Chain A
């Protein structure tokens, strides 16, 4: 039913979303923790920067990424100087773009979850001999677990649904940057509506299942917690 290139696009999409989500967990968790706990004045500006991708159109983000990561951009100059070449039109370029683009979807649920944990459990842990790092892993993370689940699902789903940014810095290379959303766009542009329908249906069902899982899993839907 789906063509090989459709399957390749879907496989690439899943790989991109999984890689991005993994990196976001590593990056977003300490950032969210800091945003939830810090009293520094510059916490608010940092929070606003993290939220930027929520309001910026993908074309703006894609355009700036293309310039920044390109051979004349600051990041591009850096990646070239350490022998990595430039990132646009590569899988890792898409990963970098997706990490930035999906950052608020990771950080904001985590931040809310960490804030909901409050000071008291952390103080209790300190009086029970747990160091701050120990407290983080043995108290804060378990208590914020629903937030981690939400953040993971949202980041993954948002990366799957990403289109504008990928289009702008991906270069539509099969197996490298031609993800499912771009493939659908290609089908539509080429007036291959039947092909577009099939792949779009897969995406639609996937998105619905992800959101359904999230609503079922939502902390409020469970008893206690």
Chain B
């Protein structure tokens, strides 16, 4: 599929955006950065809600913007989810869902029923927005955007306005979107855990510029990522459930280069999952530690050693078959172990987050 050509340059008092990118036309692309990095502005430019002085935007061969063309937002085949659900207060949930659907001429690829089922809002249809909880409102907002059968879904921090409980309520729905829809999603977020969980591709932004981008596995495994992730530094691995050990309630997941044991979450064998391994949960040993509380121990090869955010730490990238992992250790322990690139070591993984 042809990538989405995105080029914007705009100069506002106190803020500039300068972006020239090719975004993949499938999967979830996270626009990731701290607040003020320009990620929301970039998303609004893509939607046509912000008119960049100079820009070029070509989506699947349709030019949405160039020197001569400007396709207004309402004629772009997109769906948009705002940070606050922004439901129309004068319409019921069904009225909100129908608002865009009625105005869409193309035969819907995503039927209203499917959107309602996907977001689990069937029981809310007759309600007015002001009687919904924050999480319910956001689910309706997402379903409303899907009901126009968009060719691309743009989401501006759809979880940011919600508390942790509501976030947990919505995340599974977003994961289902990821799995069940084959439209590209551009997802703005400043939360590394959301990105790790949902994104296939990451665009890291800072000061209105793109500082890194690429597939999520590769990009998060970089030790020189210009965006400081601190405690959230870590990699994600695509994996498959390969075995269940009912005695200990553990499940084994296999990834390219190894396998890990983790808590059984009653997922069937063969299920594709995503595994997040944080750098702080990985430690190194020169010898096989043998008897240890840590169950996941693998031989690996050191690839790179780089300074970390804090001067006391190093970030070490190791290769495990075809996969890469990050480990954080203090500079002193690195020095005492005398590790160097190319050296074989044992990695011990203390904890693993399993994401469907």
> When chains A and B are docked, how far (Å) is the Cα of A139 from the Cα of B87?
11
* Chain A residues numbered 122-137 whose CB sits less than 8 Å from any CB in chain B: 123-132, 134-135
The reply to whether the CB of A59 lies closer than 8 angstroms to some CB of chain B is no
* Chain A residues numbered 109-152 whose CB sits less than 8 Å from any CB in chain B: 120-121, 123-132, 134-135, 138-139, 142-143, 145
Query: Does A139 contact B103, Cβ atoms closer than 8 Å?
Result: no
> When chains A and B are docked, how far (Å) is the Cα of A123 from the Cα of B73?
8
The reply to whether the CB of B258 lies closer than 8 angstroms to some CB of chain A is no
The reply to whether the CB of B89 lies closer than 8 angstroms to some CB of chain A is yes
Query: Does B74 contact A124, Cβ atoms closer than 8 Å?
Result: no
B59: A residues at CB distance < 8 A: none
The reply to whether the CB of A224 lies closer than 8 angstroms to some CB of chain B is yes
Query: Does A127 contact B73, Cβ atoms closer than 8 Å?
Result: yes
Query: Does A130 contact B99, Cβ atoms closer than 8 Å?
Result: yes
The reply to whether the CB of B104 lies closer than 8 angstroms to some CB of chain A is yes
> When chains A and B are docked, how far (Å) is the Cα of A135 from the Cα of B99?
11
Query: Does B148 contact A124, Cβ atoms closer than 8 Å?
Result: no
Query: Does A142 contact B148, Cβ atoms closer than 8 Å?
Result: no
Contact of A127 among B88, B89, B130, B145 (CB under 8 A): B145
A135: B residues at CB distance < 8 A: 74
Which residue of chain B has the shortest Cβ distance to A128 in the bound complex?
A: B100
Query: Does A127 contact B47, Cβ atoms closer than 8 Å?
Result: yes
B77-109 toward A: CB 8 Å interface, digit per residue (1/0)?
Answer: 011101010101110000000011001100000
Which residue of chain A has the shortest Cβ distance to B48 in the bound complex?
A: A126
A212-225 toward B: CB 8 Å interface, digit per residue (1/0)?
Answer: 00000000000011
> When chains A and B are docked, how far (Å) is the Cα of A130 from the Cα of B89?
17
Query: Does A127 contact B78, Cβ atoms closer than 8 Å?
Result: yes
Nearest CB of chain A from residue B26's CB, rounded to whole Å: 21
B103: A residues at CB distance < 8 A: 128-130, 134
* Chain B residues numbered 114-163 whose CB sits less than 8 Å from any CB in chain A: 128, 130, 144-145, 148
Q: State the interface size on chain A (CB cutoff 8 A).
A: 21
The reply to whether the CB of B49 lies closer than 8 angstroms to some CB of chain A is yes
Q: How large is the interface on B (under 10, 10 to 19, 20 to 34, 35 or more residues)?
A: 20 to 34
A127: B residues at CB distance < 8 A: 47, 49, 73-74, 78-80, 100, 145
Query: Does B130 contact A224, Cβ atoms closer than 8 Å?
Result: yes
> When chains A and B are docked, how far (Å) is the Cα of A127 from the Cα of B128?
21
* Chain B residues numbered 12-62 whose CB sits less than 8 Å from any CB in chain A: 47-49
Contact of B86 among A121, A138, A224 (CB under 8 A): A121
B130: A residues at CB distance < 8 A: 224
A124: B residues at CB distance < 8 A: 80, 82, 86, 88
Nearest CB of chain A from residue B145's CB, rounded to whole Å: 7
Nearest CB of chain A from residue B115's CB, rounded to whole Å: 13
The reply to whether the CB of B72 lies closer than 8 angstroms to some CB of chain A is yes
Contact of A143 among B47, B49, B90, B148 (CB under 8 A): B90
Which residue of chain A has the shortest Cβ distance to B150 in the bound complex?
A: A127
Which residue of chain A has the shortest Cβ distance to B73 in the bound complex?
A: A126
> When chains A and B are docked, how far (Å) is the Cα of A123 from the Cα of B145?
13
A142: B residues at CB distance < 8 A: 90
> When chains A and B are docked, how far (Å) is the Cα of A145 from the Cα of B90?
10
Nearest CB of chain B from residue A122's CB, rounded to whole Å: 10
Residue of B48, B49, B72 contacting most chain A CB atoms (<10 Å)? B49
Contacts known (A120-B82, A121-B86, A139-B88); A129 close to B74, Cβ less than 8 A: yes
A183-225 toward B: CB 8 Å interface, digit per residue (1/0)?
Answer: 0000000000000000000000000000000000000000011
B48: A residues at CB distance < 8 A: 126
Q: Mind listing 30 A-B residue pairs with CB under 8 Å? A: A120-B84, A120-B86, A121-B86, A121-B88, A123-B49, A123-B82, A124-B80, A124-B82, A124-B86, A125-B74, A126-B49, A127-B79, A127-B100, A128-B74, A128-B100, A128-B103, A128-B144, A129-B75, A129-B103, A129-B104, A130-B99, A131-B72, A132-B72, A132-B74, A134-B74, A134-B103, A135-B74, A143-B88, A145-B90, A225-B89
Q: Which 9 residue pairs of A and B lie closest in terms of their CB atoms, listed nearest first?
A: A128-B100, A127-B80, A129-B103, A126-B73, A142-B90, A126-B74, A124-B86, A129-B74, A120-B86
